[in-house]
Amino acid sequence: MNILQINGSARTEGANSTRVASDIVARLKSTHPEALIVLRDLARDPAPVIDEGALGALFTPADQRTPEQAVRVAESDALIAEVQAADVIVIGVPMYNFGISTQLKNWIDAIARAGVTFRYTERGPEGLLKGKKVIVAFARGGRYRGTPADTQTPFLQTVFAFLGMTDVRFVYAEGLNMGDESARQGFAEAEADIAVALG
């Protein structure tokens, strides 16, 4: 089993989303000791921003790219290869202003590439990253699960399904900034979600 852990926080230390994601990976490792774990910490090693230069590189035929363009595409290729090689992808997702972090959005933009991780057919788009399990570990200061304020869950579900990843499990650690008791309850609820996600 190949496990890819994506830390989506802007924090290099002390991120609650990383804490929950790391707990999930540790549990997977305990039941699959042979598993190979690849860690991509987007705070320490950020994904490239999709800007005009990146778009120019991606839409230039490989044999016509400048050295600089080749480097830009290679950065995205490396991130895609990590996802393609993974059987299980565990993603730590903080909530920033009701959305995902810039770091995580840049990673998604880097791995979503037409002709590589999805393609358009006469019947519509087809995701090419099939047969993978995704476990999303949310960490939130407030409580938004099941409310209109939770824009993260439907967004990520849509993106991953578009790329072919339909086996997506969600773990919620909520109320972490609402006092000590609320934080304890939030982590306990996350533990229960983890048991279901790994069951």
Closest alpha carbon to 103 in 13, 9, 5, 3: 9
Is position 95 annotated in a ligand binding site? yes
The distance from CA 44 to its chain's CA centroid, rounded to whole angstroms, is 15
Is position 106 annotated in a ligand binding site? no
Number of separate helices (H) and strands (E) present in the chain: 6, 7
Tokens 């790329």 — which residue? Answer: 163
Is position 76 annotated in a ligand binding site? no
Closest alpha carbon to 134 in 78, 189, 198, 71: 198
Burial 55-71 (b: 16+ CB within 10 A, else e): eebbeeeeeebeeebee
Is position 7 annotated in a ligand binding site? no
Cα 92 from Cα 109, distance rounded (Å): 17
Is position 97 annotated in a ligand binding site? yes
Known binding residues for FMN are 9, 95-98
Known binding residues are 9, 95-98
